[in-house]
Structure 1
Amino acid sequence: MDSKTLTASADDAADMKALPASPQLSWYAEAGPRAQRAFWSCKVGYMLDGMDTQMLSFVIPTIVATWGITLADAGFIGTITLLSSALGGWVAGILSDRIGRVRTLQITVLWFALFTGLCGLAQNYGQLLAARALMGFGFGGEWTAGAVLIGEVIRARDRGKAVGLVQSGWALGWGLAALLYAVLFSVMAPELAWRALFLIGLVPAVLVLFIRRYVKEPEVFEQAKVRQQDTQDTPRFTEIFAPRLLSTTLRAALLTTGAQGGYYAITTWLPTFLKTERHLTVMGTGGYLAMIIAGSYAGYLCSAWLTDRIGRKPNFILFALGSMAIAFAYTSLPLTNASMLWLGFPLGFFASGIFSGMGAFLTELFPTRVRGSGQGFCYNVGRAIGALFPVLIGALSSHFGLGTSIGMFAVAAYGVLIIAALTLPETRGRELESA
Structure 2
Amino acid sequence: MTARPQSASESETSLTRPERLDRLPFTRKHGRLLTGSGIGWALDAMDVGLISFVMAALAAQWQLTQTEQSWLGSIGFVGMALGASLGGLLADKIGRRSVFALTLLVYGVATGASALAGSLAVLLALRFVVGLGLGAELPVASTLVSEFAPAKIRGRVVVILEAFWAVGWLLAALIAYFIIPLSDDGWRWAFALGLVPALYAIVIRRGLPESVRFLETKGRDAEAEAIVRDFEASAGVASPSVLETEPATGATVAQASQASQASQPSQESQAAPAGTTAEQLPAPGLSHLFGPLLRRRTAALWLTWFGVNFAYYGAFIWIPSLLHDGGFTLVKSFQFTLIITIAQLPGYALAAVLIETWGRRATLATFLAGSAVSAVMFGQAESDTMILVTGCALSMFNLGAWGALYAVTPEVYPTQIRATGAGWAAAFGRIASIVAPLLVPVLFRSGGLGLVFAVLGGTFLLAMVSALFLPEMAGEDLDE
TM-score of the two chains, using structure 2 as the length reference = 0.76
Structure 1 counterpart of 2:217 = 224
Amino acid paired to 2:306: T
**RMSD, matched Cα:** 2.8
Q: State the structure with more CA Rg.
A: 2
Q: Deviations over 1:31-60 (max 9, x none)?
A: 234422221121000101111222222223
Deviation at 1:365, TM superposition (A): 0.6
Q: Secondary structure of 1:144's match?
A: helix
Q: Deviations over 1:240-291 (max 9, x none)?
A: 22222222111110111122222234445666777778x6779943442222
Instruction: Name the CA shift for 1:105/1:135 in 2 (closer, same or farther; >3 Å).
Output: same
Range with bigger deviation, 352-361 or 380-389: 380-389
1:349 aligns with 2:387: no
Q: Take 2:77 and 2:172, find their aligned partners in 1: how far apart are those partners?
A: 18
Instruction: Name the CA shift for 1:63/1:287 in 2 (closer, same or farther; >3 Å).
Output: closer
- Choose between structure 1 and 2: higher helix proportion: 1
Deviation at 1:394, TM superposition (A): 4.7
Q: Take 1:379 and 1:306, find their aligned partners in 2: how far apart are those partners?
A: 23
Q: Take 2:330 and 2:377, find their aligned partners in 1: how far apart are those partners?
A: 16
Structure 1 counterpart of 2:142 = 147
Residue among 208, 212, 216 paired with 2:201:
208
Q: Take 1:72 and 1:393, find their aligned partners in 2: how far apart are those partners?
A: 10
1:262 aligns with 2:311: yes
8 A Cα contact 2:73 2:317, kept in partner? no
Q: Take 2:294 and 2:330, find their aligned partners in 1: how far apart are those partners?
A: 47
Residue among 432, 440, 458 paired with 1:385:
432
Residue among 340, 364, 373 paired with 1:325:
373
Q: Take 1:183 and 1:316, find their aligned partners in 2: how far apart are those partners?
A: 35
Deviation at 1:224, TM superposition (A): 2.5
Q: Secondary structure of 1:243's match?
A: coil
1:243 aligns with 2:285: no
Q: Take 1:160 and 1:311, find their aligned partners in 2: how far apart are those partners?
A: 9
Q: Secondary structure of 1:354's match?
A: helix
Structure 1 counterpart of 2:273 = none
8 A Cα contact 1:282 1:341, kept in partner? no
Range with bigger deviation, 384-393 or 210-219: 384-393
Q: Deviations over 1:180-221 (max 9, x none)?
A: 3344346x5322x32222111111122222222221112222
Q: Take 1:258 and 1:319, find their aligned partners in 2: how far apart are those partners?
A: 13
1:189 aligns with 2:183: yes
Amino acid paired to 1:299: G
Instruction: Name the CA shift for 1:272/1:207 in 2 (closer, same or farther; >3 Å).
Output: closer
Instruction: Name the CA shift for 1:313/1:94 in 2 (closer, same or farther; >3 Å).
Output: same
Matches within 5 A, 1:21-170: 30-170=25-165
Point out where structure 1 has 5 or more consecutive residues left out of the alignment. Answer: 1-26
Deviation at 1:113, TM superposition (A): 0.3
Structure 2 counterpart of 1:428 = 474
TM-score of the two chains, using structure 1 as the length reference = 0.84
Instruction: Name the CA shift for 1:412/1:341 in 2 (closer, same or farther; >3 Å).
Output: closer
Amino acid paired to 1:387: I
Q: Deviations over 1:294-351 (max 9, x none)?
A: 1112212211221112111111111112112212322346x31123223332121012
Point out where structure 2 has 5 or more consecutive residues left out of the alignment. Answer: 1-21, 220-247, 250-259, 265-281
Amino acid paired to 1:318: T
Instruction: Name the CA shift for 1:202/1:274 in 2 (closer, same or farther; >3 Å).
Output: closer
Q: Secondary structure of 2:118's match?
A: coil
Q: Take 2:441 and 2:118, find their aligned partners in 1: how far apart are those partners?
A: 31
Q: Take 1:272 and 1:68, find their aligned partners in 2: how far apart are those partners?
A: 13
Q: Secondary structure of 2:474's match?
A: coil
Structure 2 counterpart of 1:6 = none
Q: Secondary structure of 2:403's match?
A: coil
Residue among 454, 458, 462 paired with 1:412:
458
Q: Take 2:457 and 2:332, find their aligned partners in 1: how far apart are those partners?
A: 26
Q: Take 1:206 and 1:398, find their aligned partners in 2: how far apart are those partners?
A: 42
Number of residue equivalences: 401
